[in-house]
Amino acid sequence: MVNLIESVLIVIIVVMLAMGFRSGYIIGIGLVVVVLGSFVILHMMHGTLQRVSLASFIVAMGMLVDNAIVITDGIMVDMKRGIPKPDALVNITKKTAWALLGGYYDRYPDFFTDLYVARYNRRICP
């Protein structure tokens, strides 16, 4: 658990140094909420953190941070061009929505079989 906290803090600090305090703070809050929410849902479903779920969690955290950086950077670029904040939010979302969604669909098959094989094994060997 200490390693998880350290890794989240390192990611937040690096993002703050690279993108500025405000952007790093926003991305960091999102990361912490998703990490805590994931553990709450895992606990509610009586799941445990195994190797496959941990690997999936690491990939998902990386994708979350990457997508948050893409969106935040796009908003900052649009705002520097003089586009009002609400328009900048909508513009970057429309420009990158399909590409970011495609990234998720590209990663899903990597863990799809592990998810369903684990459920199948539970039915056979309780």
Between 120 and 91, whose confidence is greater? 91
- Distances 18 to 43, 50, 65, 73 between C-alpha atoms, Å: 34, 33, 13, 11
Between CA 95 and CA 68, with CA 104 as vertex, the angle to 5 degrees is 55
Q: What is the mean pLDDT of residues 17-33?
A: 89
pTM (two decimals): 0.73
Pair 23, 72: CB distance under 8 Å:
yes
Mean pLDDT of the chain: 82
Whole-angstrom distance, CA of residue 84 vs CA of residue 78: 8
Pair 39, 61: CB distance under 8 Å:
no
31-75: per-residue pLDDT in tens? 899 888 988 988 888 877 776 667 777 777 888 888 889 999 999
